[in-house]
Amino acid sequence: MKYVTEYRDAALVQGVMERIRRLVTRPWVIMEICGGQTHSIVRYGLDQMLPPEIELVHGPGCPVCVTPLELIDKALAIASRPEVIFCSYGDMLRVPGSGRDLFSVKAAGGQVRVVYSPLDAVEIARQNPEKQVVFFAIGFETTAPPNVMSVLAARRLGLKNYSILVSHVRVPPAMEAILSAPANRVQGFLLAGHVCTVMGYWEYLPLAEKYRVPMTVTGFEPLDLAQGLWHTICMLEEGRVAVENAYARSVTLEGNRAAQETIRQVFEECDRTWRGIGVIPMSGWWLRPEFAEFDAEKRFDVEAIRPQESPICIAGQILQGQKKPRDCLAFGKECTPEHPLGATMVSSEGACAAYYRYGR
């Protein structure tokens, strides 16, 4: 496949890794932001090809992992209502709230549908005017352009029965939270290539400068990741701070302007709670007042529930690069992908799930 197979060339990956081994003189801790990258790194064994001086820690960029329990409970309450068709990306169905998940709501007769695109949810609303169709709009900057477009499409079609339950988060404030924490260990970052495809990487320049941390925009194939590591380690070894782009076939400095403008038209910034981490100021998006009629939290009066997290789970520290999955006493014992106790075991993009699946 074009733009895929070329970036899985094992010999080339080996070659770049060998150069990294020659280059490294000291220990460095590098964080990849995105859960998709975590998955690729562990799946292709890139962590094991690196010299022992390089430690990779795994960032908070897994939308399923960081969606707070409280919002999942709200989703469950809304999905259980008889007049509602609840639409979601497939990844969210297995995520347990306090006690149950969307699958069990579906099994109990609730109308829960997996959609590929939010436009599919709009289409379901158009075809079912007697029902209330709610879309679970979760994710980072990558799903924001599709999710806001569904709202604009619903408004254009004059739909009164479409709304979204918004749980949107943004990468730069989370990185700032990680970097400013006293326990921070991260010295360099691999930036999430598809977040930067939408947003560009101009937002990261002041962050790199302020915390003196080099960053590299990085893609998802093994060779992309090797290249991202190469750039980051070169900067660390040279004592240079910059934001470099190792995913230039997809990412430009300014990103997709049309997508950014459409996001700003529909969403505004707000404080968000990150599961396992807590509230990060201005780290998310919600609907602007002009679009309040599409806000599922306003349309359905669901009381705020205060759910309990498992007390042994250290997912919050893992998502901030302070701990690794193996540091958790429950890993692979009480906690497995079949019976997840915490956020990072639930999603295949979560660090605990990747470590479990690929035997780290």
Q: For residue 306, give the nearest of 73, 138, 105 by alpha carbon.
A: 73
Mark 294-323 with x for binding to ligand SF4 (rule: CB under 6 A) and - for no binding. Answer: ----------------x-xxxx--x-----
Tell the smallest beta-carbon distance from residue 340 to ligand SF4 (Å).
Answer: 6
User: What do you get for the CA distance between the two ends of the chain, in Å?
Assistant: 29
Task: Identify the burial level of 285 via C-beta atoms within 10 angstroms of its C-beta, where 0-12 means exposed, 13-18 middle and 19 or more buried.
Answer: buried
Q: Does 115 help bind ligand SF4 (rule: CB under 6 A)?
A: no
Q: Does 341 help bind ligand SF4 (rule: CB under 6 A)?
A: yes
Q: How far is CA 47 from the centre of its chain?
A: 20
Q: Does 347 help bind ligand SF4 (rule: CB under 6 A)?
A: no
> What's the one-letter identity of residue 253?
L
Specify the residue, 121 or 330, whose C-beta has the smaller distance to another protein: 121
Task: Identify the burial level of 108 via C-beta atoms within 10 angstroms of its C-beta, where 0-12 means exposed, 13-18 middle and 19 or more buried.
Answer: exposed
Positions in the binding site for another protein (CB under 8 A): 1-4, 6, 11-12, 14-16, 18-19, 21-22, 34-36, 39, 61, 63-64, 89, 91, 116-120, 139-140, 142-143, 145-146, 149, 153, 156-157, 192, 194-195, 197-198, 220, 223, 226-227, 230, 246, 248-251, 256, 258-259, 262, 349
- Please choose which of another protein, ligand SF4, none residue 313 contacts, taking the beta carbon within 5 to 8 angstroms, the exact cut-off set by kind: ligand SF4
Tokens of 63: 């939308």
Among 92, 174, 352, 354, binds ligand SF4 (CB under 6 A): 352
- Please choose which of another protein, ligand SF4, none residue 314 contacts, taking the beta carbon within 5 to 8 angstroms, the exact cut-off set by kind: ligand SF4
Q: Does 57 help bind ligand SF4 (rule: CB under 6 A)?
A: no
Q: Does 342 help bind ligand SF4 (rule: CB under 6 A)?
A: yes
Tell the smallest beta-carbon distance from residue 316 to ligand SF4 (Å).
Answer: 9
DSSP state of 277: T
Tell the smallest beta-carbon distance from residue 3 to ligand SF4 (Å).
Answer: 33
* Burial track 293-314 (b if 16+ CB lie within 10 A, e otherwise): ebbbbebbebeeeeeebeeebb
Tokens of 181: 């924490």
Contact 218, 33 (CB under 8 A): no
Specify the residue, 3 or 180, whose C-beta has the smaller distance to another protein: 3
Among 328, 347, 349, 354, binds ligand SF4 (CB under 6 A): 328
Q: For residue 64, give the nearest of 99, 29, 101 by alpha carbon.
A: 101
In three-state secondary structure terms, 48 is: helix
Specify the residue, 244 or 328, whose C-beta has the smaller distance to another protein: 244
Question: What contacts 179, CB < 8 A, 6 or more positions away?
Answer: 186, 207, 211, 213
Tell the smallest beta-carbon distance from residue 167 to another protein (Å).
Answer: 12
Q: Site residues (CB under 6 A) for ligand SF4?
A: 310, 312-315, 318, 325, 328, 330-331, 335, 340-342, 344-345, 352
